[in-house]
Every structure is written in C-alpha cells, then in structure tokens.
Amino acid sequence: MFPAGEKWADDMNMIPTRTAALAVMAASFMTLAAALAEDAPRLTPVPVDENAGYLKLDQLPNGLALLPPAMTSPAEAFDQDVARAALALQGSDRFKLAALDADLHFPEAAGAFSCALGAPITAKDTPTLYRLLQRVMSDASNATAASKQKYRHARPFMLDGEPTCQPSEEEELRRNGSYPSGHTSIGWAWAEVLGETAPDRLDKILERGRAFGESRIVCNAHWASDVVGGRTIATATVIRLHADPAFVADLQAAKKEVEAVRAKNLPPQRDCKFEEHALKQTRWLTP
C-alpha cells in the first residue's frame, strides 16, 4: 500500500494535503527506479517491427526530444497523488473497463472505440479500418520505445503493492519502462484517426481516447505523467503518418467504410450502456 496517514477526499479532482508520507513514498520510488536501471540487461522496450506499421524506425517522432525527463518535480508528487486516489476504483466497473482497454489483441481491441464511433469496427464490416488500426498501433507503440528504454520508469504497482487489472502481465510490465505510456499512445492515435473518419462523432471519440489512456492509471500500471507523455507521442506520430502515402490512401478508404457501415445502422460490438456507466465512475485524472 501507499504510506498511510492522510485523509483523502472522495472527489477525484481534489488534491489532498501532502504529509511526510509523500517523502517516504518518493524515496521508495527513487530506490525502485535505481534498481530498475541496474536491471538494464533484462529490460526490453516495446517489441519493434518496422514492417508492421506504416513508418520505418527512422521516420518515427523522437520522443527523447519531445518529452521532458521522467521523475521531475512537481510532476512526481502529482503522479503519486493521482495514483493513490485511483486505487479507490479497484473492483469497480471502471476498473473492469480499464481491464478491457488493456487488452490490445485483435479482434477484441478493435471494439474499444465502437461505442464512441457508433458503429462496429470489425474485419468483416470495416476491413481497411481494421487493418489501419493495427498498423497505427505498431507505429504509436514503437514511437515510445526509445523513451521507455532510456528512463526505465518504475510503475505504480511496483511501489504500492496493489494489483493491476492484468495480473498475468505484471512480470512483463516490471521489465518494461513506464514512461511514456504505450497503451495511451496507441489509444490516442486511434482516437485522432477515428475522429477523421467520423467528424460528427469527434468529441465522443476523443473523450473515449482520453479515457482509454486514463485506464492505465485506473489499472495501477501507469502514472499520470506517463499518460500525458503518451498523448504527446501519439499526436506527433499521427502528424507524421499524414505524410505517408499508404496511410493517407488507407484513411480515405476507411472513411468510406465508416460512412457505409453507419448508414446500415449496425450496432457497436461493445456493451455501450456498461461503458457509459463505467466512465461516469471517475473524473478526469490527467491535465
């Protein structure tokens, strides 16, 4: 558990008064980070395959140039505040939704934005969009690899001893740096791309993209600054993708697919009532 001794407000937007517990927590955090750095030979970045995405490795945005160093103050104290408050969501429907968001395997992952889009995203109904999301996932993930490897940021569950929403993945997560969040980079890149396929649904799609990243905080797998950094990398990646002819061609085809599937009024493949309820259980956790 995080150090005890503070009364935390129920409102997720309220920042509690810090006590000496934060100092203890920060010291523990630094110790973990140092240990993680010493473990460098075992640490591996997100698997990189330049043939899976649209971009070659030397075309990816430079996260080391775009992001501030990890573990800076006062961001560190804010990270700890948010992580501790988010523990109250464990076991809730929001935690269950965060677990769904954590699964990046297709076809399941393709449905994460189906409610926001108002249509199914499947290999059958939207084949070009389905494949586009897979390729964008690879680019958005690969763009975080250099920063993850450099900073080797320890994750919240490594400090607080509480579970994540994917217990079976925790051992791998221990060996993979936290900063910036690869899941967030993927989710925000998806949101930006999907927003272009259905501009009238843009607000709902971006709102879902924000929640997708914040699910990593709810999962106890990432810090708030990891999520913010992931969004930055995602935006840079999508901007670069628009200079790639293959991506642009696929995006245009995907737009037509989305128009066609929405005209058929086919339902999303996710439980939208559950998703709406779950998202109401938390307030925004990041700037």
Catalytically active residues are 183, 216, 222, 226
211: tokens are: 């929640």
End-to-end CA distance of the chain: 25
Inter-axis angle of helices 75-86 and 202-218, nearest 10:
90
Is-contact 175 41, C-beta < 8 A?
no
DSSP character string of 124-175: TT-HHHHHHHHHHHHHHHHTTHHHHHHH-PPPHHHHH----S-GGGHHHHHT
What value, to the nearest 5°, has the Cα angle with vertex 148 and ends 143 and 149? 110
Inter-axis angle of helices 75-86 and 20-38, nearest 10:
100
Residue reference for tokens 């245009």: 252
